[in-house]
Amino acid sequence: MKLLVIGSGGREHALAWHLSKLSGMQRIFVAPGNAGTAREAEVMNIHITEPEALADFAEKEGIHLTVVGPEAPLAAGVVNIFRARGLKIFGPTREAAQLESSKDFAKRFMVRHHIPTADFASFTDSAAAHAFVDKQGAPIVVKADGLAAGKGVVVAMTLDEAHNAIDDMLSGNKAGAGNQGARRVVIEEFLEGEEASFIVMVDGKNVLPLASSQDHKRIGDGDTGPNTGGMGAYSPAPVVTPAIHAKTMREIILPTVRGMAADGLPYTGFLYAGLMIGKDGSVKTVEFNCRMGDPETQPILMRLKSNLLTLLEHAVAGKLDQIDAEWDRRVALGVVLAAANYPNTPRLGDVVSGLPDENEDVHVFHAGTQTLDGKILTSGGRVLCVTALGDNVKQAQKHAYDALVGIHFDGMQYRHDIGHRATSR
């Protein structure tokens, strides 16, 4: 049976790795993949935002099921195109993916369906945006309306920062600003609390929650410096207690799935709610993503004991109510190794050496890597995610950090405190 994973990051490496170790006769293809996915899958050089080319390949190769990793192909309509051609794919349609691709759409949706989130206003006129920020005061959050790989958000602690962010985003010189057409910013109330990633599978109607996790968005130790796509993650996240889990399902996930169906955009695919959990036990939605998280997927899939293909088959058949997921009780923790100058313009082409031996409990998932003349070179901002299992967070942390000591590439940066919120609880 042939399966296709679309994407080239650590998340897609983890998906391909999980699918390839299932017993059975799977042949896994990854488009376009990286140096790591080349170990467990066949890498196809097709760009993720060429949905017709991906569908041509799936048709020609007789792909049984396609799973989409990142948001860009979803926003480009890959699911619409595959479905129109009778090809099986797991992900949301372009219209449903607006939950991620347009912050403005997501905020209006949440208001309409009474889903808890930060108060907000959205602007295309910069004078009005500046005036609003002056009226509200800092801290305040300024977001570009459009996909920005987690980097189109400025959490402004001062009014100056907020004004600068508005200028950057409305004039379009920041990554992602306005790449959906209209240039718009969403300005939000600053939420306090602890963040967690709550990812579920949705089949249009039924929901299967995956294990909870927590990302580390800032580049620097102690959560300092600019936001990134994520510098490390672990699963489960202890902040997601059974009570918080139940509340999130009741107040956020189920109303979202029902709301999308009621609005005529039934949601299928992975749905990721970024949560802000207040000290008072309140849960608010910081954002939706229409995909699994990266790097959250790496620790989550290391803990998944169920057969992912079976889960995906149930999802595309609309039968997620008939299955549960089983998890390793241990903790998995992944540390991202990033290129020089990430998250700005990362330097590419540095030679990666000293990769450790892997075993059942330690995996090095590749992201921005490529093979050239037998060498592994950096080819993106986030290069590797060294992920390990342990009986508790401290042990998983120790195993992951022990595994990465020998790895080297010039300018390599990583955080030394992944898991700190769990260990300091």
Q: Does 215 bind ligand GLY (CB under 6 A)?
A: yes
286 touches, from ligand AMP, ligand GLY, none (C-beta below 5 to 8 Å by class): ligand AMP
Position 12 contacts ligand GLY (CB under 6 A): no
Helices then strands, each counted (H, E), the chain:
15, 23
Q: Is 60 exposed, middle or buried (0-12, 13-18, 19+ CB in 10 A)?
A: exposed
Give residue 192's region: left, alpha or beta (phi > 0; psi -120 to 50).
beta
Structure tokens at 251: 């107040």
369-372 β-sheet, strand order? 351-352, 375-378, 369-372
Q: Which does 230 bind (CB under 5 to 8 A by kind): ligand GLY, ligand AMP, none?
A: ligand GLY
Residue with Cβ nearer ligand AMP (26 or 227) = 227
CB nearer ligand AMP, residue 154 or residue 202: 154
The only residue of 95, 100, 104, 287 in contact with ligand AMP, by rule CB under 6 A? 287
Q: Which of 141, 277, 292, 396 binds ligand AMP (CB under 6 A)?
A: 141
Candidates 297, 307, 306; CA nearest to 234 is: 297
- The answer to the question of residue 145 lying near ligand AMP (CB under 6 A) is no
- Of 104 and 215, nearer to ligand GLY (C-beta) is 215
Q: Which residue has the tokens 């790449």?
A: 179
DSSP 3-state of 27: strand
Among 230, 236, 343, 380, binds ligand GLY (CB under 6 A): 230
Q: How far is the CB of 156 from ligand GLY (least distance, A)?
A: 20
Tokens of 114: 């009474």
Asked if 397 and 424 count as a contact pair (C-beta separation under 8 A), the reply is: no
Sheet holding 214-215, edge to edge: 214-215, 232-235, 331-338, 382-390, 362-366
Window 123-182: residues binding ligand GLY (CB under 6 A): 150
Using DSSP, state whether 421 is helix, strand or coil. helix
Nearer residue to ligand AMP within complex by CB, 32 or 193: 193
Report how far residue 164's alpha carbon sits from residue 166's, in angstroms, rounded to the nearest whole number: 5
Instruction: Determine the size of the site formed for ligand GLY (CB under 6 A).
Output: 8
- Binding region for ligand GLY (CB under 6 A) out of 35-43, 198-206, 286-294, 330-338: 286-294
Length of the chain: 425
- CB 291 to ligand AMP: min, Å: 13
Q: Nearest-CB residue to ligand GLY?
A: 230
Which of 11, 107 has the CB closer to ligand GLY? 11
With beta carbons less than 8 A apart as the criterion, state whether 214 and 239 touch. Answer: yes
93 touches ligand GLY (CB under 6 A): no
Residue 296 found at the interface with ligand GLY (CB under 6 A) = yes
Please say which residue, 289 or 370, places its beta carbon nearer to ligand GLY.
289
Q: Which does 195 bind (CB under 5 to 8 A by kind): ligand GLY, ligand AMP, none?
A: ligand AMP
* Contact with ligand AMP (CB under 6 A) among 176, 178, 274, 346: 274
Nearer to ligand AMP, 216 or 363 (CB): 216
**Spatial CA neighbour of 334 closest among 409, 276, 412, 399:** 399
Q: How many residues bind ligand AMP (CB under 6 A)?
A: 16
Scanning residues 146 to 165, which ones bind ligand AMP (CB under 6 A)? 150, 153, 155
DSSP 85-121: TT--EES--TTTTHHHH-HHHHHHHHHHTT--B--EE
Q: Report how far apart, in Å, the C-alpha atoms of 102 and of each of 27, 107, 144, 186, 209 are.
A: 35, 9, 9, 10, 24
- 96-135 residues in contact with ligand AMP (CB under 6 A) are 118
Pairing of strands 42-43, 120-123: unpaired
Residues numbered 170 to 229 that lie near ligand AMP (CB under 6 A) are 188-191, 195, 217, 227
The residue ranges that bind ligand GLY (CB under 6 A) are 150, 215, 229-230, 289, 293-294, 296
Write out the residues near ligand AMP by the rule CB under 6 A: 118, 141, 143, 150, 153, 155, 188-191, 195, 217, 227, 274, 286-287
